Amino acid sequence: MRITQVSRRLSSGRAGAGAILAACLLGALGWPAGAGAPIGWEALSRLDQLPAYKSSIKVGAVSSYDRTGGNDDGFSGKYSFIRKEAGGLVLADLKGPGVITRLWTPTPTDDPIEFLLDGEAEPRVSVGFRDLFLGKDPAFPRPLVGFGAGGYYSYVPVPFAKSCVVRIRGPKVQFYQINYALYGPETTVASFTRELSPADQRHREQAIELFRSPGADGSQWAAPPGARIELSTAEGLVAPGSTWTVFRAGTGGRIVGLRFTPAEAMAGKARDLLLRIAFDGEAPAVVCPLGDFFGYAWGQPAMRSVVAGTVGGTNYCYLPMPFDRSAVVEVASEAPGPVVLRAEVLHAAVPRRAEEGKLYAVWRRENPTRLGEPYTFLDAVGRGHLVGVILQAQGFESGKTLFFEGDDQTTIDGELAIHGTGSEDFFNGGWYDVPDRWEKRISFPLSGCLGYAKHLGRTGAYRWFLGDAYAYRQSLRQTIEHAGEKNSIPTDYCSVTYLYSERPPVADPGVPPGVERAVQDLAEVVFPVWWQMPIHAWSFENATLARRKEKIGNEEIRFLSLTTQGSDWFGPHFLSLTCDVPVAGSYRILIEALKGPAQGRVQLFRDENPVGDAVDLYAVAREASGRVLLGRLDLAEGANNLMIKLVGKHKQASGLGLDLISVVCSREP
């Protein structure tokens, strides 16, 4: 194993000079002694100030959540305003000084949204609700506003000196969330204006640059302005059962970047490489599966944000990690064989300030979650602020993800301060399981979907908090429900929660043994063909394909209907479907279909050869077939195209069709 160290001077052009060795020189870094965390525009551009304790006296949110505990979190609009006024609906009425830090909705309208500040009769800002998120108003520029994964979000700060009323000039609003921070009367806050001061204009430009650069070197943002960044590199072969010391510092300073390569060496469902980071001789503040720390999902890289993720085969994290006297970064291997890794640690000789917390990363898993109780991301006491959450959610039933109806809830200093409207909403998304919305892996600067696979009962997401960090002075409890009501759906939830705190979290049971960390895949995968199952190919001519529904007995059944006439170009009519399985192996291939007088004989093929016997779906009257075995196949992990052919029909059959409800891939022991 080889460890080398080199130094380079920060080349971002940010103001300041030289390496800093003592807190008395912090003023030269743009850090006045005793300065607290910035607010407004500056909070979006100063990653280096992220560890600083917040000066707010209250963090909260106004949202459309169902006050009865039900799941009408915006569908009807019943809870989507706090009062009605002539010509509009008031969404929030805040008393300042304070700042709105985040706006979110999956249901924007074309009605104007208005911000009335400091008791003014006329709105200081009026813009189309949808246009605000599209960046059509210069005061709300992209990428500080944006949309995707079914949601629309804005991180443009709206500060107010005395008060802020948010109003929609329209008849109805559905889902929404407005996050805010309030400050004491001694805090001077300049109210929102389109004409920014030179300082705010500079911070806004820096925030836009930061939001545009996910995956780029973020150490320039995480280091104090002007501090010289040292680059320590380590590379080598990590043997099974060994612990590799990546970095060690014996004087105060701060880590401003971590990079690990190659990303594929940290992939895999075993989660058998552990990252440990300890400060000042204390118990590790970070103990986390290495991939999960960088946003891996079910063993594969999945996140690319401005704070952390994977790009070009490199895992990165630019959360500042200040410490007083010492720091150690280690990787412990429980892998069955040697792993070759390279690590880069970017650090600056700027010790932790009294106004800063230490970084903690809490990895937790509940498998299964507890009936009647929400899943707990974090339980913390003392003073600090939450800055990031990553969640991997795995259901126990194929084809069902209703657990994601659950709301997030944040209790701060003993008070329920934030109540969300749905799991994907918490992560700036919306409408999971709907095409062109929350249906695929996608990353934005501060949030994203780690993936959605209905057939695997699986989804996940991440969110980072900069200007909207959840600050607490006594305690914080962050939870999320698993089901629309009463936490009634047992689920496998696994998370990493990032916070700056004056003391370790109280509900950190540590990382369990390897077998309890590993990803657990479903043994049986059900593909509802009528919904979003990919169709690889189907008959070239004389055939139609349609989605239909039909009542059979007391049940309404949805199915994909292949209706044919004559013959196809290359022989029997066919339907080839793409089945994505989580593990390679031998699978029983079954179908559920409707039988009837116009249904044919179907048979499974591979490489133009039959697999198993033909199955006759003819019946005098329409009826569900139940599960029918077509054959056995060896499937690769990931996408597999299954070929089903119509090879003939019963002599009494009036047609040659296939009304397919689902395909089932059941892994054999």
Residue range 216-228, pLDDT digits in tens: 999 999 999 999 9
Query: E-assigned strands of 482-597?
Result: 491-501, 524-528, 535-538, 543-552, 555-564, 574-581, 585-595
pLDDT computed for residue 248 by the predictor: 97
For residue 525, which of 586, 581, 578 has the smallest C-alpha distance?
581
185, 200, 215 — which closes off a domain? 200
Per the domain annotation, does 24 fall within a domain?
no
* Mean pLDDT, rounded, of the chain: 93
CA angle 483, 472, 305 (to 5 degrees): 65
pLDDT computed for residue 532 by the predictor: 81
The pLDDT > 90 percentage for the chain reads 90
Per the domain annotation, does 67 fall within a domain?
yes
DSSP 8-class letter at 351 = P
Q: How far is CA 288 from the centre of its chain?
A: 17
Does residue 310 have a pLDDT over 90? yes
Q: Are 251 and 349 in contact (CB under 8 A)?
A: yes
Question: How do residues 514-561 score in pLDDT, each as one tens digit?
Answer: 889 999 999 999 999 988 889 999 999 999 999 999 999 999 999 999
Distance separating the N- and C-terminal Cα atoms of the chain: 40
Residues 533 and 662 in one domain: yes
pLDDT band at 30 (very low <50, low <70, confident <90, very high): very low
CATH number at residue 533: 2.60.120.260
Residues 195 and 256 in one domain: no
Name the token pair of 629: 């075995």
If one counts the domains in the chain, the total is 3
Residue entry with tokens 């552990």:
274
pLDDT computed for residue 277 by the predictor: 98
Query: To which H or E segment does residue 210 belong?
Result: helix 198-211
Does residue 25 have a pLDDT over 90? no
For residue 132, which of 101, 160, 165, 109 has the smallest C-alpha distance?
109
Residues 548 and 645 in one domain: yes
Name the token pair of 46: 């100063």
Q: Is 643 helix (H, G, I), strand (E, B) or coil?
A: strand
pLDDT computed for residue 14 by the predictor: 45
pLDDT computed for residue 540 by the predictor: 95
Name the token pair of 451: 């993936």
Per the domain annotation, does 484 fall within a domain?
no
Residues 542 and 653 in one domain: yes
CA-to-CA distance for 59 and 465, rounded, in angstroms? 12
pLDDT computed for residue 87 by the predictor: 80
CA-to-CA distance for 589 and 352, rounded, in angstroms? 59
pLDDT, average across residues 442-446: 98
Does residue 20 have a pLDDT over 60? no
pLDDT computed for residue 5 by the predictor: 42
Residues 596 and 650 in one domain: yes
DSSP string, 371-414: TTS-EEEEEEESSEEEEEEEEEEEESSTT--GGGGPPEEEEETT
Per the domain annotation, does 617 fall within a domain?
yes
Name the token pair of 386: 């939450």
Q: Are 344 and 231 in contact (CB under 8 A)?
A: yes
Name the token pair of 595: 């039988």
Does residue 181 have a pLDDT over 80? yes
Q: Are 249 and 350 in contact (CB under 8 A)?
A: no
CA-to-CA distance for 249 and 444, rounded, in angstroms? 34
For residue 660, which of 642, 633, 637, 638 has the smallest C-alpha distance?
642
324, 349, 374 — which closes off a domain? 349
Per the domain annotation, does 104 fall within a domain?
yes
**Distances 640 to 457, 628, 647 between C-alpha atoms, Å:** 18, 20, 22
CA-to-CA distance for 495 and 493, rounded, in angstroms? 7
Residues 239 and 157 in one domain: no
DSSP string, 474-532: SEEEEEE-SSSSTT-S-EEEEEEEEEEESS--SS---PPPHHHHS----SEEEEETTTT
Per the domain annotation, does 565 fall within a domain?
yes
CA-to-CA distance for 405 and 488, rounded, in angstroms? 11
Per the domain annotation, does 580 fall within a domain?
yes
pLDDT computed for residue 493 by the predictor: 98
pLDDT, average across residues 176-182: 98
pLDDT band at 460 (very low <50, low <70, confident <90, very high): very high
Question: How do residues 130-163 score in pLDDT, each as one tens digit?
Answer: 999 999 999 999 999 999 999 999 999 999 999 9
Q: Is 217 helix (H, G, I), strand (E, B) or coil?
A: coil
CA angle 210, 212, 215 (to 5 degrees): 80
Q: Are 156 and 178 in contact (CB under 8 A)?
A: no
- The mean-pLDDT minimum among 8-22, 61-75, 211-225 falls in 8-22
Q: How many C-beta neighbours within 10 Å does residue 509 have?
A: 9
Per the domain annotation, does 20 fall within a domain?
no
Half-sphere exposure of 420 (CA within 13 A, CB side): 25
Q: Characterize 440-458 residue by residue with b for buried, 16 or more Cβ atoms within 10 angstroms of its Cβ, and e for exposed.
A: ebbbbbbbbbbbbbbbbbb
pLDDT computed for residue 508 by the predictor: 57
pLDDT computed for residue 26 by the predictor: 46
**Distances 135 to 142, 322, 457, 646 between C-alpha atoms, Å:** 5, 36, 35, 52
pLDDT computed for residue 18 by the predictor: 32
Residues 146 and 253 in one domain: no
pLDDT computed for residue 10 by the predictor: 43
pLDDT computed for residue 22 by the predictor: 36
Q: Are 90 and 142 in contact (CB under 8 A)?
A: no
Question: How do residues 85-126 score in pLDDT, each as one tens digit?
Answer: 988 999 999 998 999 999 999 999 999 999 999 999 999 999
**Distances 48 to 145, 322, 552 between C-alpha atoms, Å:** 22, 10, 63
Residues 265 and 184 in one domain: no
Question: What domain range includes position 637?
Answer: 525-667
Does residue 374 have a pLDDT over 70? yes
pLDDT, average across residues 615-639: 97
Residues 169 and 284 in one domain: no
Residues 261 and 184 in one domain: no
CA-to-CA distance for 300 and 459, rounded, in angstroms? 13
pLDDT computed for residue 509 by the predictor: 63
Residues 193 and 233 in one domain: no
349, 377, 404 — which closes off a domain? 349
At residue 460, φ and ψ (nearest 5 deg) are -165, 170
Query: To which H or E segment does residue 583 belong?
Result: none
pLDDT, average across residues 29-41: 64
Residue entry with tokens 């640059």:
209
Question: How do residues 312-345 score in pLDDT, each as one tens digit?
Answer: 999 999 999 999 999 999 999 999 999 999 999 9
Q: Are 177 and 102 in contact (CB under 8 A)?
A: yes
Q: Are 428 and 149 in contact (CB under 8 A)?
A: yes
The pLDDT > 70 percentage for the chain reads 94
pLDDT computed for residue 96 by the predictor: 87
pLDDT, average across residues 644-661: 96
Name the token pair of 141: 């520029």
Residues 188 and 310 in one domain: no
Q: Are 167 and 123 in contact (CB under 8 A)?
A: yes
Q: Are 551 and 558 in contact (CB under 8 A)?
A: no
CATH number at residue 122: 2.60.120.1390
Does residue 480 have a pLDDT over 80? yes
